[in-house]
Amino acid sequence: MARYRIGVLECDGIGPEIVRSSVSVLKAATGDGPALDLAPLPAGLDALQRLGQALPAETITTLEQCHGWIMGPHDSESYPISERSKRNPNAELRHRFDLYANIRPARAYPNVPALAPTMDLVVARENTEGFYADRNMFLGSGEFMPTPDVALAVGLFTRRGAERIARTAFHLAMARRKKVAIVHKFNVLRLTYGLFLDVCREVAKEFPEVEVEDFHVDNMTAQLVRRPGHFDVILTTNMFGDILSDLTGELSGSLGLAPGLNAGDTHAMAQAAHGSAPDIAGRGIANPVAEILSTAMLMRWLADKHQDVSARTAAERMERAVLRTLESGVRTGDLGGSANTEAFTGAVIGNIGRE
């Protein structure tokens, strides 16, 4: 039987509530395999206050020995000013473990009101480069101020970065509806986005079965509203992917339904696309769907990496149980229902048990 060591980082705001929910569902879904060694680890504001670091060295050392981890959202705005200039825990882990692919599905669910009820797509977002200054340099920052009145940002675009996210996107498309939409801004940023677009087109030649389109990012926002059901896999850069995945999450029902996986060649991190929602933290009303589905994505990644049928079975059980729970009308308040976090989690676990 396969055995996986999984780090558990609850982090900030509603993080402890939704991560604990996800862990409970994961335990129920694994059943007779795979075996899990769950490792709770300090991270976020609590770790900063207790241990002096938002991402302690012991956490990083343990994660190096893990197959993957489940991470809650962070609320870096609540950190002391001295900490805000540093990479937040999420960005630090993406950078340190080279988690270059941020995969964010968005789909409509039954019994959940959606502006785009035909949406079922995946955003494949490059996760280490672009204009995100906290993760695009080996040393130092891509942001700087030569004078108090001038601020500059340097974006990083490399052939290697474009190639590997493009291959990730095309492999995703081969397992879905075989369509990829490349999103860029080549008409204005001709060198940086020109390189990205050219490399993506080169990779596309390796996948002749896949239909390929490309869109300027501003046009894509309009197209997602106009014909959301048209798109299958959206391939794009770091900042554009971050923005577009928020849009697709809301169009398909709610950011509370929007899962995410940060994946590299050796490690992967499950983390929902939404934030820490500090205004409802500790009230027991948070929607755990996105974090549960992110955890299921981690299990699918482990299944693919280790050719493990039992891990894939666990992921499928989690996904089916969430779907059946929503189909039955059990929803948290943000989705128009009355269930709290505990009740929703219990309903998901109950649906796993009924399998």
Task: Give me the CATH number covering residue 221.
Answer: 3.40.718.10
**Quick check: is 133 in a domain?**
yes
Specify the pLDDT at position 32: 79
Q: Is 308 a catalytic residue?
A: no
Provide, rounded to the nearest whole percent, the portion of the chain with pLDDT above 70. 99
**Quick check: is 143 in a domain?**
yes
- Give the tens place of pLDDT for each residue, 286-314: 999 999 999 999 999 999 999 999 999 99
Average pLDDT for residues 208-219, to the nearest whole number?
A: 98
Whole-angstrom Cα distance, residue 118 to residue 248? Answer: 11
Average pLDDT for residues 303-326, to the nearest whole number?
A: 96
Q: Is 279 a catalytic residue?
A: no
Active-site choice (185, 193, 232, 308): 185
Q: Is 265 a catalytic residue?
A: no
**Quick check: is 203 in a domain?**
yes
Structure tokens at 139: 């040393």
Q: What is the CA radius of gyration of the chain?
A: 20
Query: Dihedrals φ, ψ of 106, to 5°?
Result: -145, 120
Instruction: Give the lowest-confidence range in 77-86, 99-108, 210-219.
Output: 77-86
Q: Is the pLDDT of residue 36 over 80?
A: yes
**Quick check: is 103 in a domain?**
no
Q: Is the pLDDT of residue 15 over 90?
A: yes
Q: Is 132 a catalytic residue?
A: yes
For residue 170, the enclosing domain spans: 114-252
- Give the tens place of pLDDT for each residue, 40-91: 999 999 999 999 999 999 999 999 999 999 999 998 888 888 887 788 899 8
H helical segments located in 37-183: 45-51, 57-64, 81-84, 89-96, 159-174
What is the separation, in whole angstroms, between the first and last Cα of the chain?
21
pLDDT confidence bin for 143, thresholds 50/70/90 = confident
From residue 40, give the alpha-carbon distance in Å to each of 78, 79, 243. Answer: 22, 21, 31
Of 343, 238, 239, 352, whose CA–CA distance to 295 is shortest?
Answer: 352
Structure tokens at 329: 């009308």
- The mean of the pLDDT values for the chain is 95
**Quick check: is 270 in a domain?**
no
Active-site choice (12, 132, 193, 308): 132
**Quick check: is 233 in a domain?**
yes
Active-site choice (12, 75, 242, 308): 242
Average pLDDT for residues 104-113, to the nearest whole number?
A: 95
Beta strands 233-236 and 179-184 are parallel
Active-site choice (12, 75, 232, 246): 246
Whole-angstrom Cα distance, residue 88 to residue 353? Answer: 38
Of 292, 240, 248, 250, whose CA–CA distance to 271 is shortest?
Answer: 292
pLDDT confidence bin for 244, thresholds 50/70/90 = very high
**Quick check: is 100 in a domain?**
no
Compute the Cα dihedral for 215, 218, 222, 224 and give only its sign.
positive
Residue 226 near residue 58 (C-beta atoms within 8 A): no
Provide, rounded to the nearest whole percent, the portion of the chain with pLDDT above 90. 87
Look up the pTM and report it.
Answer: 0.94
H helical segments located in 175-237: 192-204, 217-226
**Quick check: is 65 in a domain?**
no
CA dihedral 42, 103, 318, 74 (to 10 degrees): 30
- Give the tens place of pLDDT for each residue, 274-286: 999 999 999 999 9
Q: Is 218 a catalytic residue?
A: yes
How many domains in the chain?
Answer: 1
pLDDT confidence bin for 11, thresholds 50/70/90 = very high
Residue 131 near residue 155 (C-beta atoms within 8 A): yes
Whole-angstrom Cα distance, residue 115 to residue 113? Answer: 7
Mapped onto helix, strand or coil, the DSSP state of residue 342 is: helix
Beta strands 233-236 and 120-126 are parallel
Specify the pLDDT at position 55: 95
Active-site choice (37, 198, 218, 265): 218
